[in-house]
Chains A and B, each alone.
Chain A
Amino acid sequence: MKNIFVKLGPFLALVAVYLLFAAICPPEFLGFYNFKTIITQTVIIGIAAMGMTMIVVSGGIDLSVGSQIALGTVVAGLVLNYGLGDVLAVGGFQAFLAAISAIAVCATCGAIIGLFSAKLKIVPFIVTLGMMQIARGVAKWLANEQTISTPTNPLQTLMMVDPDPAWMVFAPGVWIGILLVVITSIILKYTILGRYTFAIGSNEKTALLCGIPVASYRIVIYTLGAAFAGVSSVMQYSNLTVGDPTAAAGMELDVIAAVVIGGGSLSGGEGSAIGSIVGALIMAVLRNGSNMLGLPNYVQEIIIGTIIVGAVALDRYRNAGK
Chain B
Amino acid sequence: MRLTLHQITKSFGAVAALKGISLEAKAGEVLALIGENGAGKSTLMKVLSGAELPDSGNMLLNNTPYRPQNPADGKQSGVNMIYQELTVAPHLSVAENIVLGSEPRAFGFVKYPIERIKEVLAQVGMADVDPFSSVSFLSIARQQLLEIARALMFESQVVIFDEPTSSLTAEDVKALFKVISSLKNKGIAVIYISHFLEEVMEIADSYAVIRDGESVGNGRIEDVGISHLIELMVGRSLSDVYPKIPHQMGNNILEVSHLKGKILPQQVSFTLAKGEIFGISGLVGAGRTETIRCLFGQDPTAGGKVSIHGNNIDLASWTVAKALRSGLDHVSENRKEEGLALNLSIAQNMTLSFLAKISKLSLLNLRAEENISKNWVKKLSLKSSSVHAKATSLSGGNQQKISLGRILELNNDIFFLDEPTRGIDVGSKAEIYRLIQDLAANGKAIVVVSSYLPELLGICDTLAVMHKGVLSPKKMVSNWTHYQIMLYATSGIFETETTA
Contacts and interface: CB of A to CB of B under 8 A. Distances in A.
Contact of A209 (B339, B363, B366): B339
Contacts, number: 75
B321 A203 contact: no
Contacts of B341: 198-199, 202-203, 206-207, 269
Nearest to B334: A205
Interface stretch (A167-175, A188-196, A241-249): A188-196
Most buried by B among A192, A196, A212, A270: A192
B366 A190 contact: yes
Interface string A270-285: 1000000000000000
Contact of A202 (B321, B343, B356, B366): B343
A210 B334 CA distance: 14
A310 interface: no
A212 B341 CA distance: 13
Contact of A205 (B321, B323, B338): B338
Given A199-B344, A208-B320, A210-B320, A190 B352 contact: no
A31 interface: no
A211 B353 CA distance: 6
Contacts of B342: 202-203
Contacts of B359: 191-192
Contacts of B313: none
B180 to A, nearest CB: 33
B339 A192 contact: no
A75 to B, nearest CB: 30
A148 B473 CA distance: 75
A192 B340 CA distance: 18
A213 interface: yes
B344 A202 contact: yes
B239 interface: no
A193 B330 contact: no
Contacts of B323: 211
B421 interface: no
A213 B341 CA distance: 16
A191 B363 contact: yes
Interface string B308-349: 000000000001110110000010101001111111100011
Contacts of B498: none
The DSSP consensus for interface residues of chain A is: helix
B22 to A, nearest CB: 30
A209 B343 contact: no
Contacts of A316: none
A151 B245 CA distance: 81
B134 to A, nearest CB: 22
Chain B, interface size category, equals 20 to 34
A322 interface: yes
A213 to B, nearest CB: 7
Interface in B368-419: 393, 406
B235 to A, nearest CB: 28
B298 interface: yes
B355 A192 contact: yes
A270 B321 CA distance: 25
A191 B355 CA distance: 9
B339 A206 contact: yes
B364 interface: yes
A322 B13 CA distance: 11
Contacts of A210: 320, 324, 352-353, 406
B362 interface: yes
B320 A195 contact: no
B343 A199 contact: no
Contacts of A196: 355
A199 B342 CA distance: 9
A211 B356 contact: no
Interface string A198-227: 110011011111111100000000000000
Contacts of B324: 210-211
9 contacts: A191-B359, A199-B352, A206-B341, A208-B298, A209-B332, A209-B353, A210-B352, A211-B319, A269-B344
Interface of B: 298, 319-321, 323-324, 330, 332, 334, 337-344, 348-349, 352-353, 355-356, 359, 362-364, 366, 393, 406
Interface of A: 190-193, 195-196, 198-199, 202-203, 205-213, 269-270, 322
What 4 pairs between A and B have smallest CB-CB spacing?
A: A202-B341, A210-B353, A211-B321, A203-B341
